[in-house]
Amino acid sequence: MAGRGRDPGRSVTSRVLAVLAAFDDGHPRLRLSEVARRSGLPVATVSRLLAELVAGEALARRPDGRYEVGRRLWQLGLLAPVNQELREVALPFIHDIQTVTGDVVHIAVREGIAALYVERVAGRGSVAVASRMGSRLPLHATGVGKVLLAEAPPGVLAEALANLTPVTRHTITDPARLLRDLAETRRRGYARAVEEITLGLVSVAVPIRPEPGPPVAALGVVTKATRPRVGQLVPVLQVAAAAIGRALHRTGAGPGPAAGLSAEW
């Protein structure tokens, strides 16, 4: 098999996983040479594996020759518990919030020092945002990320503080300042990120807790930084987050209507 001389102990499965791992939020579409470079595999091996993955619809080949995640791999991803259960429970509430506010509404979980977005709903008039389903954004620069980072284990917090990469000129990159921001997030029960991930936008987020303890997810809204009464989004999110938490806690019970949401927010 091609490539055995370079890495004789590597199984076919590990090579396939290396090819798939070459794709991420920052590299959603790759050419053959790019997949080979990012996976560390010979071009001939990658070419064969890509052809097989395309035939199985795990990957798709675009007209320009680049490869991207295919239909079957996407469908399998949706079956992961972090996506399926949380999305099924939260989606009706997310739609309610979006209808009420007209803004982008999303839900995220923590994956390392990144916020993994498992659902996002936007309306026709919503602002353009960086998040999308399956994308990962830094915890320290996002509203949902700050909610999750505020109660993360010490090791995660230390890693995040050591990797405060600026996204915009407003991103908090000073560890002491971020620690104060996270303490304020815990105190008031919600987080704000003002133009830290996208200029001109502000995000507000709250924790989702099925039971006492650290949040399992965060629910957030992104809107224009100039929008008046942004603070009034908080109770809307808190009502929905509490209902999602109760629904997750009830084994086998689906969410009911997002009671308390009103167009008078």
Residues 6+ apart with CB under 8 A from 178: 140, 161, 164, 172
202: phi then psi, degrees, rounded to nearest 5: -130, 140
114 domain-assigned: yes
Strand partners, 61: 67
- Count of structural domains within the chain: 2
Enclosing domain of residue 47: 12-76
Confidence of residue 258 (pLDDT cuts 50, 70, 90): very low
Only one residue has tokens 């105190």, namely 187
Residue with tokens 């997310």: 94
- Quote the pLDDT of residue 215: 93
- 6 domain residue, yes or no: no
Q: Is the pLDDT of residue 5 over 50?
A: no
> Which CATH number fits the domain that encloses residue 41?
1.10.10.10
Let me know: does 240 contact 220? Beta carbons within 8 Å: no
Q: In what side-by-side order are the strands of the sheet with 104-111?
A: 136-138, 114-121, 104-111, 217-224, 201-208, 191-194
Angle, helices 43-55 vs 12-21, to 10°: value is 80
- Single-letter code of the amino acid located at 254: G
The pLDDT value recorded for residue 128 is 62
Give the pLDDT score at 263.
38
Let me know whether 218 and 245 are in one domain. Answer: yes
Instruction: Compute and round to an integer the Cα radius of gyration of the chain.
Output: 20
At 2 the pLDDT is 38
Q: Is residue 104 one of the residues assigned to a domain?
A: yes
**Considering Cα of 16, then 18, then 24, then 27, what sign does the dihedral take?**
negative
Asked whether residue 116 is assigned to any structural domain, the reply reads yes
- Regarding beta strands 67-69 and 201-208, do their DSSP bridges make them parallel or antiparallel, or are they unpaired? unpaired
Residues 93 and 106 in one domain: yes
State pTM to two decimals.
0.69
179 token code pair:
């620690």
Q: Is the pLDDT of residue 259 over 70?
A: no
CA distance 22 to 35: 6
CA geometry: angle at 144 spanning 141 and 150, to 5°? 80
230 and 164 in a single domain? The answer is yes
Residue range 6-30, pLDDT digits in tens: 555 578 899 999 999 998 767 889 9
Under the banding of pLDDT at 50, 70 and 90, the label for residue 79 is: low
Same domain? For 132 and 38 the reply is no
pLDDT(156) > 80: yes
For residues 138 and 193, is the Cβ–Cβ distance under 8 A? no
Least confident span in 57-61, 76-80, 143-147? 76-80
Give tens-digit pLDDT for 95-148: 999 998 889 999 999 988 999 888 888 776 666 666 666 778 999 999 999 999
Q: Give the start-end residues of each E strand in the chain.
A: 59-61, 67-69, 104-111, 114-121, 136-138, 191-194, 201-208, 217-224
Is 165 in the same domain as 208?
yes
